Structure 1
Amino acid sequence: MATTFTDPKDALAGRAARQMRDHFGDSGLTVRQKLALTCRILFDGGHDSGLAGQITARGEAPGTYYTQRLGLGFDEITEDNLLLVDEDLNVLEGTGMPNPANRFHSWIYRAREDVHCVIHTHPLHVCALSMLEVPLVVSQMDTTPLYDDCAFLKEWPGVPVGNEEGEIISAALGDKRAVLLAHHGQLVVGACVEEACNLAVLIERAARLQLLAMAAGTVHPLPHDLAKEAHDWTSTDRRYQANFAYHARRALRAHPDCVAAGVAL
């Protein structure tokens, strides 16, 4: 006989959270493997734009991070061809050079100790929205992890290879997890690769939904309290891990070469 039909919502939410802690956890993948899989996940999700964009994650030593080699597309990244660089973009491990636009990642890592992964890409719908110089509007349940968590930089500072752009972009991000960059693209950050990957997938979906809705009529806002509740409910490490595992399984089926043979999720 059912025993939960009179339970309040907070009790049911707590029950579900406890079950998620029991059933989901870290994949055991290395940071290199998670980063390589993220590159393939986002390639399949429409985030590729030639050689534009950078996906980075902190290294073990302070002031270091992993990134892809300039000249390789997201669909060519493997755990073995990633570079380890320092804040000045000197290569510490690997062969080749990093994208010089990685400089603003160094600024973000310095400004935000809580950030362990930075994803900057130029996906189609995000870029289209950025051309309109309007902020991202989160008005659908699936995209609520970005609710009140996406900043907007309206002024394009130019090619982000200087320290000025690092200061501008890191300041625009502030304490949020995402920023829409006008005439440019998107940037998301996370306390782990899984979190940032999930937000990157969602920001492109949110931009696409917004453009479709704007073309059809007026986008109506979500009720603030309910949207904040949904943001917090979906912004947990177990949710990131479960979502990432799903996306990674799809990527592994399509791109089994990106990580060592035998990796399973």
Structure 2
Amino acid sequence: MALARKIRYKGSSVKKPSDAAFSNCNRVGLDEPNQRPRRSQAVLQLPLDHPEPFAATMGTMLYPGTGESERRKAATFTSGYLAQPLEEYYRRGGRLSEDQLRRIITSGGALIDDLQDRWWAGQATGEITKVLIALHNSDPALASWKSATSIVEQETGSARGTGRSALMNYRRQFGSVSHLWAAWQLRGGRFAADELSGNSLAVDFQRFICEAERIRLWGQGFVPERAMAEPVFGPNMWAAPADWLAPLPYEQWPGEGWLPPIEAMAGQLQGLRPPGRPRKQ
């Protein structure tokens, strides 16, 4: 996406601190300053129990609304995405259970005519969220959606659909999956198997979920130091189920309190001021 290449950060490569408890990545509380503990159970649960959780999660990222129309579009995207791989899987002798096939085939059926627009809007939301994280890492007092949106607007110039009103609409539409799109953009939308450790693409997808969960935990807990402030993420986010466990321990994974180690460039901070009135001590 051209938009992603135009945003500048310091230290933009994502380094994952060493730890060994990857299986608990979505269930550890927050203990950093200005953090509120997250809810114990997500209201919106990602479809990680789907026969193909990657495709089902992508459907939710593209169509995150909770109404019937959005959920059917998410399911339609998933079944369409799986059509060719499923045919190849069966050609090679693989088989799915009747219940698994039914879930893939019969849950869609919606007309999808806005997929390109959804991809663009989702990735733009991920870039805004990345800038918000970079601002927080540079100076937490400057971390606001208004400032993050302004930086993305300035850095992308006249790129398609990057005016302030469009960017604000994207964030409203994709707010419940902004952590997932941020994790996606930080990876450049890439997933990789690790031949040395024997970890598969499926395991790397689980790591992606863990990275997104860390961003969600931060955003639902970080409260800017200003009067009447609320956490930067709302309470209704698509999240891993409370009983979800990543499949294997990792030598490197996003540990407790992890955020991508990215910072805004000095020029992007010029002229920014903390929004609102300071919180009373």
Quick check: TM above 0.5? no
Give the TM-score, by structure 1 length.
Answer: 0.28
Higher relative contact order (CA 8 A, sep 6+): 2
Give the TM-score, by structure 2 length.
Answer: 0.27
